[in-house]
Structure 1
Amino acid sequence: MSRRSQILAAGLAASLAAAGTLHLVRPRVFEGLIPAALGSPRAWVYGSGVAELACATAVAVPATRQVGGVATAVLFVAVFPGNVKMALDSHPGARSWARNPAVAWGRLPLQVPLVAWALQVARGSQPAG
């Protein structure tokens, strides 16, 4: 595995670990992203935090990096509807992240490079040949 691949994997693992930890430590910040139809927002926030930590661990370990990269890409796609909800609900008086519409809407296209990053980590973990 190249040095660049290792750096990309370490950066992705660190980002996922930070996000997962934030979901568990400050769940209220993320609760507004969960559609009411899904039930308890806290359960979904905790679940996504645990999923991010699991993906971080899988990406950090070379033996599981390929599956971890793919799982991370799937996770990034799965949380996209929450980001859309945040953007649709955004206004200056909103709770937490949805307070700034420019930030809320600006996050949406960022999912594309995040998915690409995860897939690049998965591909970079494959032996050459």
Structure 2
Amino acid sequence: MSRDITVMGGAFIGIGILHFVRPEPFEKIVPKALPRKKDLVLASGVVEIAAGAMMLHPRTRRLGGLGAVALLAGVFPANLQMTADALRSSRAPRWYKAGTIARLPLQAPMIRIALKAARS
């Protein structure tokens, strides 16, 4: 297994756990139009942990990679919401605003890694 898949699988598990330990920051970035924000955060945490763990095992790596791709696509609106909120905020520091913008294109290499896992 390649290092990038291992790192991404571990990161997914860690971030998924954070959905349960500290759900509030994740709830804040759920798009405004969606109801039951906490439920969505917890559900995405479960999927994130499962996809991460599955990418780490050869027998489940394909399904884990595909699940990671679906998750990354599914949470992209939350990343857009976070950026929009940051840019509208007069209190958000410039570095934070820049970080939310810079984060958006990082989805592409993460999707490539997840697809690599799905093919391996």
Find the partner of 2:30 among 7, 13, 34.
34
Which 4+ runs in 1 deviate beyond 4 A?
none
Corresponding residue of 2:77: 81
Is structure 2 residue 110 aligned with structure 1 residue 114?
yes
CA deviation after TM superposition for structure 1 residue 60, in Å: 1.6
CA RMSD of superposed structures (Å)? 1.6
Check whether the contact 1:27–1:45 (CA below 8 A) recurs between aligned residues: yes
Residues paired across the two proteins, number:
116
CA deviation after TM superposition for structure 1 residue 92, in Å: 4.8
Identity of aligned residues (%): 36
- Name the TM-score, length of structure 2 as normaliser: 0.88
Corresponding residue of 1:61: 57
Check whether the contact 1:92–1:101 (CA below 8 A) recurs between aligned residues: no
Q: Which has the larger radius of gyration?
A: 1
Question: Equivalents in 1 of 2:90, 2:52: separation in Å?
Answer: 33
1:80-99 deviations in Å (ceiling 9; x for gaps): 111011111113525xxxx9
Corresponding residue of 1:93: 91
Check whether the contact 1:59–1:65 (CA below 8 A) recurs between aligned residues: yes
Unpaired segments ≥5 residues, structure 1: none
- Name the TM-score, length of structure 1 as normaliser: 0.82
